A = this chain, B = another copy of it.
Amino acid sequence: MEIGRTARKRRAILRAATEVFLQNGYLGASMDQVAARAAVSKQTVYKQFEDKERLFAEIILGTNDQLVGGFVQAADQLDGATDARQALREVARGFIEILTQPDVIRLRRLVMAEADRFPDLSGAWFERGFHRSLVVLGEAMQGLADRGVLRDLPDPTLAAYQFAGLIMYKPMNQVMFAGTLAKPPVDELERIADEAVKVFLAAYDGDHT
């Protein structure tokens, strides 16, 4: 019972802190605001999370782990696929869906904004999250290559980055720069994904070897 209450408080603090950081940035956020928003005492916040930096790290890395989970699931769609075009389209759509969620965009901005203040944290976001997702995608692509569905991949991780870049470069920059609400309409996103798959397969389709 006591444990359940502690866990609930912890979740409430994390939710509240996410909103406070997103609204005010790292420097502008205070533990007072977090406590007020979570309806707990400031003492409780400190007891659970030590200090503002630790709280920030928990939020960033927790969200990061969730995002990686989504990507791994998307990449799983390549397992056992025999139609490269169709499977890659599904992955492309999964990527777009995960990465253009408004809360993800806002959190990415926050991590980037603080990258030079907290290089260990933002480095962990990149290595444990971003890069790891693309290593996993590269491995799934290598699986396709092993079965002859794609041609041999000299560098599966780089191929995964190329695929993600073909898909995400336009919509991601648009939402990151022009504002969260600048997300392109669904039919444009689908066209970008389809054209990305075409270019990728022109280079890597197993049929062409």
Contact = CB atoms under 8 A, between A and B. Distances in A.
Contact of A199 (B24, B180, B200): B200
A123 B109 CA distance: 15
Contacts of A119: 178-179, 181-182
A28 B204 CA distance: 48
A115 B177 contact: yes
Contacts of A131: 174
A113 B199 contact: no
Given A126-B182, A165-B168, A177 B111 contact: yes
Contact of A126 (B25, B113, B174): B174
A56 to B, nearest CB: 15
Nearest to A102: B116
A169 B177 contact: no
Copies held by the complex: 2
Interface string A127-169: 1001100000000000000000000000100100110111111
A113 B204 CA distance: 37
A71 interface: no
B109 A115 contact: yes
Given A119-B178, A123-B178, 19 more contacts: A25-B27, A112-B176, A112-B177, A113-B113, A115-B179, A119-B181, A122-B178, A125-B178, A155-B195, A158-B192, A161-B169, A162-B166, A165-B167, A165-B168, A165-B170, A166-B166, A168-B169, A198-B203, A199-B200
Interface of A: 24-25, 27-28, 106, 109-113, 115-116, 119, 122-123, 125-127, 130-131, 155, 158, 161-162, 164-170, 173-174, 176-182, 192, 195-196, 198-200, 202-204
6 contacts: A25-B25, A115-B180, A122-B177, A126-B178, A158-B195, A161-B170
